[in-house]
Amino acid sequence: MGEESKWREYWREHDVYRFDPHDKSRRTFSIDTPPPYPSGDFHVGNALNWCYIDFVARYKRMKGFNVHFPQGWDCHGLPTEVRVEQTFKIRKNDLPPDQFVEMCRKLTAEYITKMKQSMNLLGISSDWALEYKTMDPSYYKLTQLSFLELLKSGHLYRGEHPVNWCPRDETAIAEAEVVYQERKGTLHYIRFGAANEGIEIASTRPELLAACAGIAVHPKDEKYKAIVEKTITVPIFGQQARVISDDEVDPHYGTGAVMICTFGDKTDVRWQKKYHLPIIKALTENGRLSVDDPRFRGLKAEEARKKIVAELQAKGLLNKTEPITQNIGTCWRCQTPVEIIARPQWFMKTRDMTQKVVEWAGKLSWIPHFSKQRLVDWAESLDWDWVISRQRIFATPIPVWYCTKCESTIIPDEKSLPVDPRKDKPPEEKCPKCGNRELRGETDVLDTWMDSSITAAVHAGWPNKSELFNQLFPADLQPNGLDIVRTWDYYLLVRSLALFGIAPYKTLLINGMVKGTDGRMMHKSYGNYVVADEAILKVGADAFRQWAAAGGSTGYDIPFRWNELEHGKKFLTKLWNVARFVLTNATDPLPPKKPSNLSLIDSWLLASLQKLTHEVSEAFEAFQFNTALEAIRNFTWHALADDYLEAVKHRLQPGREQSDLKATQYCLREALMTVCKLLAPICPHISEAVYHQFPSGATKSVHLENWPEHEKALDDTSIRNGKLLLDLIAHARREKSSKGLSLGEKVKRIVVSTEAEHLHLLKENEETILRTLKADTLDLERLPSNSSPGREPSAEFKVEIVA
Ligand SMILES: [Zn+2]
Ligand SMILES: [Zn+2]
């Protein structure tokens, strides 16, 4: 059992998971595996995500599909740059871009190696022949191609609009990358205007006094009615701010009057436009104050705040302060509070697409269903278009040049892709519009989601729209975590609708988040974080995968519990023992077909097996992995090991009738083989190990076997009657042991009293009863019937043992 690595080696050697693009006999099943950031970490939450994908991939292969399961790496973007900066203690601009990119590539390659090892350790069946990296020129040339296509079809534009900005990373970030966090702040009550006619305004950000372009009050607020449309002098910086009235002002916040700054938040952006207020750029791109006043120029926002507060205090303009809890937008990567800054950026017109997105979301299959609403709510909440340009280095270059005179955009020929306008020559000698010979390459780069939101099409071979493209695109499955529905699934959808007019996926399989052993969400900073390798090395991949399957319903958060992993390990030991027992007792050649002389217990086992196959198949079809695993574990542990094995042990003794022996051996092997196949998607290693123990000798991997079939109509009679017989045996056993008799000890007589309708059945199975309980005679007596219509057909027994 501790041989998991041996089987992984076997799969690699035999290329078990290879997708065959030329196979016309099988239907394809394509998975658009989300390419993770190569961060080097593969925690149990990632592992959960990949387990789900792998359960489906393995199940579909056995169902006869030609499964397309690629694995890629979303290399570009902030996370890697930040890591390089931290690892080498540099800033991105300390080095020439080429050198910085080289460092990012190297670090990325190291991390990919590490994460690939973790995925392999977990037994993930991705087809490594389909591996791709978004930082490879062969990939990012397609990102650039998609940019040019969207530009030509009018989905992109360049403009100067306010966007979310991370002052630490010095780049624009999208709304999806802003994480709201509760933080403690201070509300400062500041005196504006002249001493006798001014007003008081409360603000958490006094440093923005420098950017204050207006003051807003509520139209119904009597206190301020007289000053609407007047101007008031801003303290310290001295500019004039016009007072406007707007319904959006909360008259109960602070004093009911608020500053409108360039750009304090989204409301400020709206009001600036609506009331044509001046734009006062008081913050630089690295979050420092850019004002004429030498006392504050160049200070970081936080330092500026302190100094300005001190100044206000000194001048007697600070009336009071009070603590406040605020919901602050922060950068998803570095947790720095975001600013809003306007500079030229590239945008995708996503707001126009909201209705289409909502429509398409309704046509897709969402597992679980509630995850759909996440996407719809998100799409409907977006106020701004998607900003797709970034002011970073390690990313796909934006393939455009500009005329320095008339600012026209010059694009390259698609055949010349990939290009890097930061160093490559422009495609034209002069501006086609004005003839100017001075052209400048774009230095901004693309948002990493621009790379990773076309993966489904890229896997399918785009831009080559062959027959295979139509088979693989849209992907059959889009698996990802609930936390990235609003990013991943949204971006995938808008890109695909704009480029191809359809959604890039058919079914979305959404996993919940993993909670730590302390019940909180698993997070590095909480100290409840578990690296997947640690858990897998401790209990084995198959035990870990059982936790992933059984930990909870698909789509809901699941707790990480070591004892669940141990439980999984125990099950594997049980299964292994059962397999050893079965295979050492059923080594004889078997009849190819089901024997005709089956006892009730045999029919019961085979019928239960049919029922199990039915349940597990349905559960896999519905992506309910916990239901599938529980059914398999229950059957193996109880029906097969506790009930059947105990009831038929006597038939395996030497000297027993050959036909009985064959029937038992047939049933045992049938049950073990079926369990082995049903369990293969969840526990691939032990299933393979058991499969290879069969005396017929395995000629291929269990993962290339067909999924077990089951007859349409279940044999309910055998299940019901078998259960009755097993109940009696269990009852008699308890009786025996309560008399201090061991199970193997012979007894003279068993007296069973039960309802009349069961007597016949028990008489028919007298031999099984006697042999299992080691008794000489069986006396059957009649109990008054107490069965009522509609009652479950379980019987009441009175059992007496005569030693
Ligand atoms: Zn940041
Ligand atoms: Zn020009």
Asked whether the predicted pLDDT for residue 1 surpasses 50, the reply is: no
Overall size of the chain counted in residues: 803
CA-to-CA separations, 722 to 591, 641, 647, 750, 795, in angstroms, rounded:
24, 15, 11, 19, 12
* Strand 401-403 with 132-133, pairing: unpaired
Average of per-residue pLDDT across 412-434 = 95
User: In this predicted structure, what is the pLDDT of residue 595?
Assistant: 85
The mean pLDDT value of the chain amounts to: 92
Top-confidence range, 85-89, 275-279, 657-661: 275-279
- 455 by Cβ neighbours in 10 Å (0-12 / 13-18 / 19+) ranks as buried
CA-to-CA separations, 754 to 157, 722, 764, in angstroms, rounded:
83, 16, 15
User: In this predicted structure, what is the pLDDT of residue 794?
Assistant: 58
What is the rounded distance in angstroms from the CA atom of residue 250 to the CA atom of residue 247? 8
Which amino acid, residue 635?
F
Q: What is the 750 CA–ligand 1 centroid distance (Å)?
A: 78
Any idea which of 10-14, 348-352, 698-702 has the lowest mean pLDDT? Answer: 698-702
- The number of the ligand nearest the C-alpha atom of 169 reads 1
Asked whether the predicted pLDDT for residue 594 surpasses 90, the reply is: no
Average of per-residue pLDDT across 308-337 = 92
User: In this predicted structure, what is the pLDDT of residue 365?
Assistant: 98
Which residues are placed with Cβ below 5 angstroms of ligand 2, an ion?
A: 403, 405-406, 408, 431, 433-434, 436
User: In this predicted structure, what is the pLDDT of residue 788?
Assistant: 56
User: In this predicted structure, what is the pLDDT of residue 333?
Assistant: 81
Average of per-residue pLDDT across 709-727 = 90
Average of per-residue pLDDT across 47-75 = 97
Which amino acid, residue 59?
Y
Alpha helices in 693-715 (DSSP H): none
Asked whether the predicted pLDDT for residue 37 surpasses 60, the reply is: yes
Asked whether the predicted pLDDT for residue 787 surpasses 60, the reply is: no
In tens, the pLDDT along 163-178 reads 999 998 889 998 888 9
Confidence at 396, pLDDT banded by 50, 70, 90: very high
Q: What is the 454 CA–ligand 1 centroid distance (Å)?
A: 25
Q: Which of 494, 448, 454 is nearest to 473 (CA)?
A: 454
Q: What is the pTM of this model?
A: 0.90
User: In this predicted structure, what is the pLDDT of residue 795?
Assistant: 67
Q: Which of 630, 609, 606 is nearest to 620 (CA)?
A: 630
What is the rounded distance in angstroms from the CA atom of residue 192 to the CA atom of residue 612? 76
What is the rounded distance in angstroms from the CA atom of residue 226 to the CA atom of residue 215? 14
Q: Spell out the residues 6+ positions from residue 769 whose beta carbon is closer than 8 angstroms to its own.
A: 725, 728, 729, 732, 750, 762, 775, 778
- The number of the ligand nearest the C-alpha atom of 78 reads 1
Q: Return the bridge partners of 511, or none.
A: 481
Q: What is the DSSP string of 72-95?
A: EE---SHHHHHHHHHHHT--GGGS
User: In this predicted structure, what is the pLDDT of residue 528?
Assistant: 84
Looking up tokens 């774009």 gives 442
Q: What is the 139 CA–ligand 2 centroid distance (Å)?
A: 31
Q: Return the bridge partners of 164, or none.
A: 173, 340
Q: What is the 238 CA–ligand 1 centroid distance (Å)?
A: 32
Q: What is the DSSP string of 506-568?
A: EEEEEE-PEE-TTSSBP-GGGT---BHHHHHHHH-HHHHHHHHHHSSSTTS-EE--HHHHHHH
HSE-up of residue 788 (Cα within 13 Å, Cβ side): 0
Q: What is the 171 CA–ligand 1 centroid distance (Å)?
A: 8
E strand spans, 199-303: 199-203, 212-217, 231-233, 240-245, 257-261
What is the rounded distance in angstroms from the CA atom of residue 602 to the CA atom of residue 588? 18
Asked whether the predicted pLDDT for residue 786 surpasses 80, the reply is: no
Q: What is the 407 CA–ligand 2 centroid distance (Å)?
A: 6
- 63 by Cβ neighbours in 10 Å (0-12 / 13-18 / 19+) ranks as middle
Are 347 and 365 in contact by the 8 Å Cβ rule? The answer is no
User: In this predicted structure, what is the pLDDT of residue 562?
Assistant: 93
Asked whether the predicted pLDDT for residue 657 surpasses 90, the reply is: no
Asked whether the predicted pLDDT for residue 274 surpasses 80, the reply is: yes
HSE-up of residue 718 (Cα within 13 Å, Cβ side): 17
Confidence at 792, pLDDT banded by 50, 70, 90: low
Asked whether the predicted pLDDT for residue 790 surpasses 60, the reply is: no
In tens, the pLDDT along 540-587 reads 999 999 999 999 899 999 999 999 999 999 999 999 999 999 999 887
**Sheet containing 409-410: which strands, arranged edge to edge?**
409-410, 401-403, 439-441
Q: What is the 98 CA–ligand 2 centroid distance (Å)?
A: 29
What is the rounded distance in angstroms from the CA atom of residue 527 to the CA atom of residue 584? 48
User: In this predicted structure, what is the pLDDT of residue 789?
Assistant: 54
Q: What is the 148 CA–ligand 1 centroid distance (Å)?
A: 28
Confidence at 622, pLDDT banded by 50, 70, 90: very high
Asked whether the predicted pLDDT for residue 530 surpasses 70, the reply is: yes
Give 748 or 528, the one with higher predicted confidence.
Answer: 748
Alpha helices in 594-738 (DSSP H): 600-621, 625-634, 646-648, 658-679, 684-691, 716-738
Top-confidence range, 93-102, 423-432, 578-587: 423-432
Q: What angle, rounded to 10 degrees, do the helices at 354-363 and 490-500 form?
A: 100
User: In this predicted structure, what is the pLDDT of residue 437?
Assistant: 95
Q: What is the 431 CA–ligand 2 centroid distance (Å)?
A: 5
Asked whether the predicted pLDDT for residue 317 surpasses 60, the reply is: yes
Are 255 and 201 in contact by the 8 Å Cβ rule? The answer is yes
Looking up tokens 């349409």 gives 712
Are 204 and 326 in contact by the 8 Å Cβ rule? The answer is yes
Asked whether the predicted pLDDT for residue 524 surpasses 80, the reply is: no
Are 411 and 427 in contact by the 8 Å Cβ rule? The answer is yes
